Structure 1
Amino acid sequence: MPLIRDFIERITARESDPINQARTQMLFYLVMAYFFFGLSLTVAYAYTGQIPQLIRAIVISILAIIALYVHYTFNVWRILSHIVLVLITVMGVWANILIYVQGINAATLQYIWLACAFGFYMHGSKVGWVYAVINIAPVLIDATFFSKDYFFLGAGPQVVARPIYIYVLIYDFFAIAFLHYFFFKVFNKNITTLTETKNQLNNTNEKLNKTIEEIKELSNVRMRFLSTMSHELRTPLNGVIGLTNVLLHQEPRKDQEETLSVLKFSAENLLALVNDILDFNKLDSDVVELESTPFNLYDLIENICAATKLKASEKQLDFSFEVSDPLRSLTLIGDPTRITQVLLNLLNNAVKFTEKGYVKLSCSELAIRDESVEIRFVVEDTGIGIEESRQRGIFDEFVQASVSTTRNYGGTGLGLPIVKRVLELYQSTVQIDSSIGNGARFSFDIVFPYRKDIADDVKNSAVKESKSANLSKLKVLVVEDNAVNILVIRKTLNRMEINPDVAENGKMALEMIAANEYDLILMDLYMPELDGYETTKVIRSLVDDRKANVPIIALTATVNSQVLDDVLAVGMNGYLSKPFHPDDLFEELRKHVN
C-alpha cells in the first residue's frame, strides 16, 4: 500500500545505521499489528459483552493510533519503544496476573516472551535484561507465594469465549515469531553486506597497496631522474663557475671583469635553481633526516650574512645581523646546512623584495635550560610587504605573492616551501607579520641541544693556524675523468701554488699511488675502469700505512644524503659537491695539513 510504503520510507530515512532502520520498521509493524489486534478484539468483546476486556482492547487501539502518529511525525522511536514495552508489561503481563486471569495463562507467557524479545531487539542487551527481569519477576512471585497449583494455563476467573482465546494465542504467537523473523532477516542481511563490504575493502586495499607501490616506484624514478639531471647539469656548471673564478683572479680588464661577473652570477643562479628543485624533491619525498652536528651559531650567522651582504650592498640596503651574547658561547647540536638553507632563503627574499631601507637578521634566546636552548630567529625588512590574504599561500610550492611579483622579481616559488618543510622537521612554523608597503617580519623558534663552547682563544688560535698553513707544499692527486673538471681543479689549485697529479680513472690512480707519496687525494665518484668507491676501498686495504691512510676528499656532482653516507662508509674523509667554491676546497685542504 502506498500509505504504508510512504510511512516506512519516512521513518527509515531518518536513520543511517541499518540496525536502527530495522528497529524503526519493527516498531511500526508491531504497533500496526496491535492496532488491528485491539480493533478486532473490540468487536469480539462488544459482541460477547465482556466489559473489562472490551476496555482493554479499546485502550490498545487508541494507544496504537497515537503511537503511529508520533512515530511518523517525530524521530523518537527509542522513547516510543520504551512506552510500548511498558504497556506490554503493564497491560499484558501484570494486568493478567492481578485482574484478568489472577494467575498465569498461555497469553501471559506470550506477553512475557514478546516483551523480552522486543526489549533485546530494540535496545540491546543491558536494557533487554531490565525488561526481562520486570516481566519474569511477577511469574516467579506468583508461583512462589500465591499459586496453589504452582502453575496453570487456564482462562482465569474472567472466562472468555474459546474462539477469542484461540485467536489471541495465535495472534500473539505470530507477533513473537514475526519479531524473530524480521530481526534475524535484517541481521543476516547485514552480515552478508558486511562480508561483501569486507571483501570489497580487501580488494580495494590490494589495489591501494599496488597503487602505493607504483607511486613509490614513480617517486624513486623521479628521484633518480632528478639526481641524474642534477649531476648532468652540475658537471658543466662546475666548468663554467670554476673557470670564471679562475679568470676573475687573473686580473682581467674592467670590461672583462664585468662580463665575467655577469657570467658567474648567471651560472650561480642556475646552480641555485638546480639545488632548490633537488632539495624540494627530497623534502617532498620525506627522505631527509636532520643531522646532529656541533656548530657555533655566531660563526654560522656570520658566514650566512657574508654571502648575502654583497647583494644587499649592490642595492644600497642597510644590512645587519645580531646574535645575543649568551648564544655566542654555546655549541649547538643540529643541522647547520638546513639552518643555513632556511636563513639564506629568507634573507635572499628579503633583499630581493626590498628596494630601500634595511634587512636585518636577529637571533635571541627565549629560554636556556640544562641541556637545550630555545632560539628565536627573526628576519625583517622594509620591502614591498605581503597582502594578509596571501601570507599562508606563499609557502605552497611554485606560488608567489602575486602574478606581478613573479613578473617583476622572478623566482620559482620554491624557497619558502623549502623553508616550511625544513622547519617542520624541527617541529616549528614560520610566523609572518606584514602588510602591503610596510615590509615583512618572518620569525620562527627552534629548540637545540647544546654544550659549552671551547675557549675562544684556543679556537681562534686553531683557526688562525689553519688559515696560515702553507698549502703549496701539499702533493695532491686528482682522480677525475672529465677534462673540463680537471682543468677547473688544476687551475683552482694553481692559485695556491699546488701543481697536482691527475689520474683519469681508478686503475690509473692506484698505479700512481703505488709509485708516489701523496698528502691528499681528490676523488671523483663515477669513472670508467674503476669508480671512486672501489678505488678508495683498495687504497684503504694497502699494506703501507701511510698510503692506506692518505686523506681522500670526494668530489661529485651528485648531491644527496645517501652519497655522503656511502662516501664515509668506504673510508673517505670528506665530501665536496660540484661546482665547489674555491674557498671550500682550500678549507678542506687545510683540515688535512699535517
Structure 2
Amino acid sequence: MLHLYRPIEKFVHGIASVEPDAIDQARIKLLLYILLLYLPYTAILIAAYYLGGESPHLIRVSIVFASCLVWISAIYYLKVWRTASHIVLCSLTLAVWSNMFYYVHNINVETLQLIWFACALSFYMHGLKWGWFYSAINILPVLAFTANENQDYFYLGAGPYTVSQLTYLFVISYNFLWIIYLHYYFFKVFNHNFIKLTTTKNELKALNEKLKTTLEDLQRTSNARMDFLSTMSHELRTPLNGVIGISNALLLQNPREDQTENLAVLKFSAENLLLLINDVLDFNKFESNKVELEHIPFDMGVLLENNYSIIKLKAREKMLDLKLVVPEDLKGKLVMGDPTRLTQVLLNLLNNAIKFTERGSVSLGVHTEDLTDTHITLSFVIIDSGIGIAADKQQNIFEPFVQASNSTNRNYGGTGLGLPIVKRVLTMYNSVIKMQSMPNVGTSFSFEIVFPYKESNPENSHQLHNNGKELAHLKILVAEDNPINVLVIKKTLEQWNIKPVIAENGKIALQKVVENDFDIILMDLYMPEMDGYEAAAAIRKLSDPGKSRIPIIALTADVNNSVALKVEESGMNDYLPKPFDPNDLFQKLRKLSREKSAVPQV
C-alpha cells in the first residue's frame, strides 16, 4: 500500500505547498484526501447500485464521482481550493436534504453522519462564520422534519427507496471513518503547529535571555570603556596642561625670536595631541548618546576670526593662501547655539583641508542664505586645492576610523574620527554635510545651519585684554595637588598681577577659607585627603555667609559628561577643563568677580 500512498502524498503536498500558511496547507491536504478517497468510495457504490438495480442512488453517486474529478482538477490547475470546498459543503448539504425529503424520508444514521461531516468540515475549512452558516443549513431540515413529521406535505416523492443491508453497512462505516479521520487529521496538524509554536516560543525566550545577558555584558563593557577613557583623559590631560600652560606663559615673557619659534612648535604639537585625545573621547560620547548641544549666545564673527587665527600658523607653515569671508549681516548679532561644537566642526574641516593641501589655497566662506526677525540661515563652505578624494571613497570617509586609503594614514596620520564627528554634530543641528571632490583638484565641504539670533549689546562685544589691570585686586585661592598644574596656574594668574594662595588638597583649602578672605577659588576635583567635590560642599555649609558664597571654579582634566552635573550638585559655580585657554579663565574670573561685586554683602 505504501507504493500507492507515496505518489498521492507527493501530489497532495505539491498542491498544498503553494500556500505559505501551515493551517491553509493542512486545509488543502484535508480537502484533497477527501476528494481522492471519495473516488474509490463512489466507484464501489456505483458498482453496488448498478448490480442492485438502484437507479436513483446510482445517479447520485455517479454525479458525486464526476464532481470529485472536476474539483480535484480545479484545485490542481486553478488553485481554487476555497471555492471547491464551498461546493463540497453545498453538495453535502444537498445530500442531507435529499436524504430526508426524497431518498429516505427520515433521519437515519447516514443522514446524521453527513450533517456531522458538513459541520466539522465547514469549521475546519473556513472558520467560525462559514462554520455556523453551513451548520445551520444542515441542522435546519432536521429541526423542521422533527417538528412536522406527521404532516404529509413535507414528503416530496412517492416513497423511500430501499437499499441492500450490505451497501448500507458500507456507507455508514465509510462515513464514520471519514468523520473520525477529519477530526484526527486536523487535530494532528493543529497539535503539530501548537507544539512547533510552543517550541519556537521557548527558543525565542531562551534567545531573549541570551540577548539580555549579551546586552548587559555590552553595557558593562561600554561602562568599563567609558571609565577607562575618562581615566585616560585625566592622565593625559594633566601633563598636557603643564606643557601647554608653560608654553603659553613663556610666550608671554617676550622670548627671543628663535625661542618663540621653538615654543610655538612645542605648543602646536601639544595642542595637536590634545585634539586627537578630544576626538577619541568625543566620538565615544556620541556613540553613547551622551552629547547635547548648548544653546547660548555667541558672536559668530568673533568665533570665525578665532578659528581663522588658530589655523593661520599651520597654513603659513605650508605657504598656503588662507582666506576668510564673513558676511556683513553678522555684525551686531549674537546667534544662539553651541560655539564649542561649531568650532569643533570648523576646525576639523579646516585642519583636514590644510593637512591634505600641499600648495594653493584653503578658504572658509560664510554666507547668509536667509534672514528673518528671529532667525538667520548661514551657509558654511570650506574649499581647498588639495589631493581630493576619489568618487568611490567619498562616502567611506564619514565612517569611524576610516580614511580614503591606507596611504592617506601613512602619509598624513590622524584617527579617522574628524569627519564622523563633524557629521554627527551637524545631524544634531538638523543639517547635512555636502561634499564635492576631484582627485588632484581639490575638495569642497558645505553645510547650512539655522540659528536664532538677537542684536548684541556693545558691552557684550567688548574684547577681553590680558593686561591684568581689571583683575589685579582679586584674592584667589588655588586648590591643586599637582606641582606642574600649580606652576601653570601661578604663571597664568601672575600675567594679570594676581598672586594666588596655594592649597595642596581640599582639606587645606577648607582650612584656608576659614582663616582668610578670598574672592574666588580655583578648585581641582581630584586631590588627596579631601577632593574638590567634598571641599566645595563643606565650604557651602560654612556659617559665615561671606565665606560660604565664595565663587568656585572647578579645574579638571576629566571631561566625563557627569562632571558638569556633579560640579553643580556640590555647589560650584562653573568649571574649566584642563588644559585651559588663559582667555577662557580670564573671562570666567571677570564674570564671577562682577557678579560677586553686584551681590549686597550681608
Cross-structure match for 1:546: 546
Deviations 1:340-369 (A, max 9, x none): 322322232233333423322325355758
Equivalence map 1:30-429=2 (5 Å): 30-69=34-73, 71=75, 76-90=80-94, 92-93=95-96, 95-96=98-99, 100-101=103-104, 105-136=108-139, 148=151, 157-315=160-318, 316-323=320-327, 325=329, 331-355=334-358, 356-366=360-370, 368=372, 376-429=379-432
Cross-structure match for 1:571: 571
Check conservation: 1:430, 1:442, Cα contact below 8 A.
Answer: yes
In structure 1, C-alpha distance between the alignment counterparts of 2:533 and 2:198, rounded to whole Å? 56
**Which 10-residue stretch deviates more, 156-165 or 541-550?**
156-165
Deviations 1:459-514 (A, max 9, x none): 335x5699885222222221110111111111222222222221111121122223
The residue type equivalent to 1:203 in the other structure is A
The residue type equivalent to 1:35 in the other structure is L
Alpha-carbon offset, residue 236 of structure 1: 1.0
Cross-structure match for 1:502: 502
Alpha-carbon offset, residue 530 of structure 1: 0.8
Check conservation: 2:364, 2:380, Cα contact below 8 A.
Answer: no
Alpha-carbon offset, residue 38 of structure 1: 1.4
The residue type equivalent to 2:461 in the other structure is N
Check conservation: 1:89, 1:115, Cα contact below 8 A.
Answer: yes
The residue type equivalent to 1:364 in the other structure is T
In structure 2, the CA distance between the partners of 1:123 and 1:435, relative to structure 1 (3 Å rule), is farther
In structure 2, the CA distance between the partners of 1:207 and 1:464, relative to structure 1 (3 Å rule), is closer
Cross-structure match for 1:459: 460
In structure 1, C-alpha distance between the alignment counterparts of 2:137 and 2:381, rounded to whole Å? 72
The residue type equivalent to 1:338 in the other structure is R
Check conservation: 2:394, 2:404, Cα contact below 8 A.
Answer: yes
The residue type equivalent to 1:171 in the other structure is Y
**Which 10-residue stretch deviates more, 501-510 or 304-313?**
304-313
Cross-structure match for 2:584: 584
Q: CA RMSD in A?
A: 3.3
In structure 1, C-alpha distance between the alignment counterparts of 2:546 and 2:373, rounded to whole Å? 46
Check conservation: 1:466, 1:590, Cα contact below 8 A.
Answer: no
In structure 2, the CA distance between the partners of 1:199 and 1:458, relative to structure 1 (3 Å rule), is same
Q: Secondary structure at the match of 1:21?
A: helix
Check conservation: 2:468, 2:497, Cα contact below 8 A.
Answer: no
In structure 2, the CA distance between the partners of 1:149 and 1:239, relative to structure 1 (3 Å rule), is farther
**Which 10-residue stretch deviates more, 63-72 or 386-395?**
63-72
Check conservation: 1:105, 1:155, Cα contact below 8 A.
Answer: no
Q: Secondary structure at the match of 2:593?
A: coil
Alpha-carbon offset, residue 404 of structure 1: 2.8
In structure 1, C-alpha distance between the alignment counterparts of 2:316 and 2:247, rounded to whole Å? 22
In structure 2, C-alpha distance between the alignment counterparts of 1:556 and 1:58, rounded to whole Å? 98
Q: Secondary structure at the match of 1:417?
A: helix
Q: Secondary structure at the match of 1:281?
A: helix
Alpha-carbon offset, residue 175 of structure 1: 1.4
Alpha-carbon offset, residue 227 of structure 1: 0.4
Cross-structure match for 2:14: 10
Cross-structure match for 2:597: none
Q: Secondary structure at the match of 2:323?
A: strand
State the TM-score, normalizing by the size of structure 1. Answer: 0.88
Cross-structure match for 2:28: 24
Cross-structure match for 2:599: none
Alpha-carbon offset, residue 375 of structure 1: 5.2
Equivalence map 1:511-550=2 (5 Å): 511-550=511-550
In structure 2, the CA distance between the partners of 1:212 and 1:458, relative to structure 1 (3 Å rule), is same
2:561 matches 1:557: no
Alpha-carbon offset, residue 563 of structure 1: 0.4
State the TM-score, normalizing by the size of structure 2. Answer: 0.87
Please list every run of 5 or more consecutive structure 2 residues that lacks an aligned counterpart in the other structure.
595-602
The residue type equivalent to 2:82 in the other structure is R
Check conservation: 2:325, 2:364, Cα contact below 8 A.
Answer: yes
In structure 1, C-alpha distance between the alignment counterparts of 2:274 and 2:124, rounded to whole Å? 72
**Which 10-residue stretch deviates more, 109-118 or 141-150?**
141-150
2:480 matches 1:476: no
**Which 10-residue stretch deviates more, 428-437 or 568-577?**
428-437
In structure 1, C-alpha distance between the alignment counterparts of 2:159 and 2:579, rounded to whole Å? 107
Check conservation: 1:277, 1:414, Cα contact below 8 A.
Answer: yes
Check conservation: 2:481, 2:527, Cα contact below 8 A.
Answer: yes
Alpha-carbon offset, residue 45 of structure 1: 1.6
In structure 2, the CA distance between the partners of 1:460 and 1:288, relative to structure 1 (3 Å rule), is closer
Alpha-carbon offset, residue 36 of structure 1: 2.1
Check conservation: 1:312, 1:351, Cα contact below 8 A.
Answer: yes
In structure 2, the CA distance between the partners of 1:332 and 1:42, relative to structure 1 (3 Å rule), is farther
Check conservation: 2:466, 2:495, Cα contact below 8 A.
Answer: no
The residue type equivalent to 2:557 in the other structure is A
The residue type equivalent to 1:250 in the other structure is Q
Alpha-carbon offset, residue 296 of structure 1: 4.2
In structure 1, C-alpha distance between the alignment counterparts of 2:225 and 2:207, rounded to whole Å? 26
Give % identity: 51
Deviations 1:539-570 (A, max 9, x none): 22223322222221111110122101111221
In structure 2, C-alpha distance between the alignment counterparts of 1:498 and 1:278, rounded to whole Å? 34
Deviations 1:516-536 (A, max 9, x none): 222221110000011111111
The residue type equivalent to 1:257 in the other structure is T
**Which 10-residue stretch deviates more, 176-185 or 68-77?**
68-77
In structure 2, C-alpha distance between the alignment counterparts of 1:364 and 1:143, rounded to whole Å? 93
Check conservation: 1:539, 1:547, Cα contact below 8 A.
Answer: yes
Alpha-carbon offset, residue 252 of structure 1: 3.0
In structure 2, C-alpha distance between the alignment counterparts of 1:299 and 1:239, rounded to whole Å? 28
In structure 2, the CA distance between the partners of 1:346 and 1:131, relative to structure 1 (3 Å rule), is farther
Check conservation: 2:366, 2:378, Cα contact below 8 A.
Answer: no
Alpha-carbon offset, residue 211 of structure 1: 1.9
Q: Secondary structure at the match of 1:526?
A: coil
Q: Secondary structure at the match of 1:527?
A: coil
In structure 2, C-alpha distance between the alignment counterparts of 1:231 and 1:429, rounded to whole Å? 33
Check conservation: 1:102, 1:157, Cα contact below 8 A.
Answer: yes
In structure 2, C-alpha distance between the alignment counterparts of 1:580 and 1:507, rounded to whole Å? 24
Cross-structure match for 2:492: 492
Check conservation: 1:41, 1:57, Cα contact below 8 A.
Answer: yes
In structure 2, the CA distance between the partners of 1:432 and 1:131, relative to structure 1 (3 Å rule), is farther
In structure 2, the CA distance between the partners of 1:31 and 1:241, relative to structure 1 (3 Å rule), is same
